[in-house]
């Protein structure tokens, strides 16, 4: 299933690593208050699943995504706890099949023309591009999208405040992911006022 309609165009999606599930709901509330509409909680910590479930139970007005999903079992698990979409660094046939059978919108990853075309054949017009800066950043996205115009990218990895506006001005970039405005030190300390301030600054980088 395609996630492009769930994530608003030309927006910044926080990609967060949560070490304490108790911080999940206050974080989501701070992000919503700053104007952010979607969140990607990566499955990189033991607290990630509980964090996703807590946000879903709290009915915070934010689209909840699970990131770094790598297996069909993870895909099923995040759907069952309330994730509304999933994001993968790449894609396998097993993952794509599981997304259909488990009816969860998916953002699969691609970094070559062959991968982009293979995902388009499966109906995925929104594709993750990761790690964006290491793969060539905007120059690579422009090169891929020039002959393959039906694809929209969700680049993450190495994007910071100084690059955000340039990425979002690119016609083939649907949205971007970043973590610079949810610094780990502030999140681990529960400093949601600081996260809110940084998130409002990040929203100010979105081109008019």
The residues annotated with a catalytic role in the active site are 40, 128
| Distances in whole angstroms, Cα of residue 108 to Cα of each of 101, 166, 182 | 15, 23, 23
Instruction: Check residue 192 and give left, alpha or beta (phi > 0: left; psi -120 to 50: alpha).
Output: alpha
Give the SS3 label for residue 114: helix
CB 42, CB 177: distance < 8 Å: no
Structure tokens at 83: 């994730």
φ, ψ dihedrals at 129, nearest 5°: -125, 105
Which of 1, 43, 17, 3 has the alpha carbon at shortest distance from 128? 3
CB 105, CB 3: distance < 8 Å: yes
CB 106, CB 1: distance < 8 Å: yes
Q: Could you give the CA distance from residue 163 to residue 161 in angstroms, rounded to a whole number?
A: 5
């Amino acid at each position: 299933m395609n996630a492009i309609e769930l994530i608003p165009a030309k927006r910044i999606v926080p990609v967060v690593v949560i070490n304490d599930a108790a911080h999940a709901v206050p974080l989501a509330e701070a992000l919503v208050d700053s104007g952010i509409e979607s969140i990607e909680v990566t499955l990189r910590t033991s607290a990630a699943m509980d964090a996703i479930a807590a946000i879903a139970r709290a009915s915070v007005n934010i689209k909840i995504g699970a990131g770094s999903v790598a297996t069909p079992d993870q895909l099923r698990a995040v759907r069952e706890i309330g994730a509304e979409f999933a994001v993968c660094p790449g894609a396998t046939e097993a993952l794509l099949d599981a997304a259909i059978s488990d009816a969860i919108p998916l953002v699969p990853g691609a970094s070559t023309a062959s991968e982009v075309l293979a995902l388009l054949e499966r109906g995925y017009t929104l594709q993750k591009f990761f790690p964006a800066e290491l793969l060539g950043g905007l120059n690579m996205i422009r090169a891929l999208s020039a002959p393959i115009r039906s694809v929209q990218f969700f680049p993450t990895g190495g994007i910071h405040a100084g690059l955000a506006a340039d990425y979002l001005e690119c016609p083939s970039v649907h949205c971007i992911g970043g973590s610079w405005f949810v610094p780990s030190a502030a999140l681990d300390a529960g400093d949601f006022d600081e996260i809110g301030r940084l998130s409002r600054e990040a929203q100010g980088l979105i081109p008019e």
